[in-house]
Amino acid sequence: MNGFPVGILGTGMYAPERRLTNQELETMVETSDEWIVSRTGIRERRIAAPEQATSDLAYEASLKALAAAGISADQLDLIIVATITPDMFFPSTACILQEKLGAKKAAAFDLSAACSGFIYGLANAAGFIATGAYQYALVVGADCLSRITDYTDRNTCILFGDGAGAAVLGRVPEGRGFRSFELGADGSGGELLNIRGGGSRLPASEKTIAERNHYIYMNGREVFKFAVRVMGNAAEEALRKAGLGKEDIDLLVPHQANIRIIQSALERLNLPEDKCLINVDRYGNMSAASIPVALAEAVEEGHVREGDRLVLVGFGGGLTWGASVLVW
Ligand code: COA
pLDDT digits (tens, 9 = 90+) for 205-223: 999 999 999 999 999 999 9
What pLDDT sits at residue 73?
98
What pLDDT sits at residue 2?
84
Residues 81 and 170 in one domain: yes
Q: Which atom of ligand 1 is nearest to the CA of 156?
A: 34
What pLDDT sits at residue 197?
96
The verdict on residue 1 lying in a domain is: no
What pLDDT sits at residue 274?
94
Of 174, 203, 232, the domain-final residue: 174
Q: If 0-12 CB within 10 Å is exposed, 13-18 middle and 19+ buried, where does residue 37 land?
A: middle
What pLDDT sits at residue 303?
94
The verdict on residue 222 lying in a domain is: yes
Q: DSSP readout, 31-100? A: --HHHHHHHH---EEEE--TT--HHHHHHHHHHHHHHHHT--GGG-SEEEEE-SS-SSSSS-HHHHHHHH
Q: Does residue 221 line the site of ligand 1, with CB under 6 A?
A: yes
Of 174, 208, 224, the domain-final residue: 174
Residues 99 and 185 in one domain: no
Residues 201 and 317 in one domain: yes
Q: pTM of the full predicted structure?
A: 0.97
The verdict on residue 266 lying in a domain is: yes
The verdict on residue 37 lying in a domain is: yes
**How many domains does the chain fold into?**
2
Residues 163 and 308 in one domain: no
Atom 27 (ligand 1): residue with closest C-alpha?
A: 221
Residue 76's domain comprises 6-174
- By most ligand atoms within 8 Å of CB, the mutation choice from 156, 221, 259 for ligand 1 is 221
Residues 130 and 209 in one domain: no
User: What's the average pLDDT block by block, 10 residues per block, for the chain (328 residues)?
Assistant: 94 98 98 98 98 98 98 98 98 98 98 98 98 98 98 97 98 97 98 96 96 97 96 97 96 98 96 96 98 98 96 98 98
List of long-range contacts for 98-105, beta carbons under 8 Å, 24+ apart = 100/55, 100/59, 101/59, 101/62, 101/63, 101/66, 101/73, 101/76, 101/138, 102/73, 102/74, 103/73, 103/74, 103/76, 103/79, 103/138, 104/74, 105/74, 105/76, 105/77
CATH of the domain at 99: 3.40.47.10
Of 174, 205, 231, the domain-final residue: 174
Residues 124 and 215 in one domain: no
The verdict on residue 67 lying in a domain is: yes
What pLDDT sits at residue 1?
78
- Interval between CA 265 and ligand 1 midpoint (Å): 19
Q: Does residue 42 line the site of ligand 1, with CB under 6 A?
A: no
Residues 51 and 136 in one domain: yes
Q: Does residue 220 line the site of ligand 1, with CB under 6 A?
A: yes
